[in-house]
Amino acid sequence: MAIIVDRPKLKWWEHLYLPALAQGMRVTLGHMIRSLRGKTKVTMQYPEEKWDDNLPEHYRGAPALVTDEHGRERCVGCQLCEFICPPRAITILPEEIPSDDKWAKVEKRPKKFDIDMIRCIYCGLCEEVCPEQAIYLRKDYAIVGTSRAEMVHDKEKLYEIGGVREGLVNKWNPLK
């Protein structure tokens, strides 16, 4: 059923259009004066003012590898992250840990660990799937390079971003 909405009956002075004009001017001038006095601030002056202080706790930035408190790399080269990665950004080449090594009982470690940051979609599945809690999404967001090769983070770079994580980190934090 059609609903008929009556047009509002306008007074003669409303037909003049001028009161509406003044009303509109009041709104826009109000906004203008407020923003000229610095009362409204919605724009971040990006290169001078960084996101860093304003990022939420659960922000998903660049993925990175971490070492534990003994300086051992946590990654055991199981390749789960490589398999789950939706855009296939991760490439891992695992190797066996030689028997004379201090951590020989861990058996496996990555020889090469590359993340192609052009492909990465920051979904955080690698972090979620990792049984060893070795890969984390950090808050780095400005990842730049002048060539495709530069945009691939190798193992060294990943550890540099990741740093050290001590203890068992609460992986199932609802915010994560």
Partner 1 sequence: MEWQIIIAAVVKIVVFVFLTLLPLVAMSVWAERRVSAAIQDRVGPNRVGPFGLLQAVADGIKFLLKEDFTPKHVRKVYFWIAPALVMVPALLTCAVLPFGSQLFGEKMVIADLDVGPLFVFAIASLTVYGIVLAGWASNSKYSFLGGVRSTSQMISYEISLGLSIVPLLMIYGDLNLGRIVQYQAENGWALLPLWGEGLSVKGLLLAIPVFISFVVFTTSMFAETNRLPFDLPECETELVAGYHTEYSSMKFALFFLGEYAAMIIGSGLAVTLFLGGWSLPFGWLAPESINAEVPWWHGLIHIGVFFVKVIGFILFFIIVRWTLPRFRYDQLMRLGWVFFFEIALFNVILTALILWLV
Residue 35 contacts partner 1 per CB under 8 A:
yes
Residue 29 contacts partner 1 per CB under 8 A:
yes
Residue 50 contacts partner 1 per CB under 8 A:
no
- Burial-class residue 77 by CB neighbours within 10 Å (0-12, 13-18, 19+): buried
**Residue 29 or 93: which CB sits closer to partner 1?**
29
CB 164 within 8 A of CB 67: yes
Task: Return the residue matching tokens 């296939």.
Answer: 88
DSSP-based three-state secondary structure for 164? strand
Phi–psi pair at 161, nearest 5 degrees: -70, -45
Q: Minimum distance between the CB of residue 18 and partner 1, rounded to whole angstroms?
A: 8
Residue 12 contacts partner 1 per CB under 8 A:
no
Residue 10 contacts partner 1 per CB under 8 A:
no
Q: Minimum distance between the CB of residue 49 and partner 1, rounded to whole angstroms?
A: 12
Q: Count Cβ atoms below 10 Å from residue 139 Cβ, excluding itself.
A: 14
- Burial-class residue 73 by CB neighbours within 10 Å (0-12, 13-18, 19+): buried
Number of residues that bind partner 1 (CB under 8 A): 15
**Residue 18 or 169: which CB sits closer to partner 1?**
18
**Residue 29 or 104: which CB sits closer to partner 1?**
29
Q: Binding residues for partner 1, per CB under 8 A?
A: 18, 21, 24-25, 27-29, 31-32, 35-36, 40, 42-43, 45
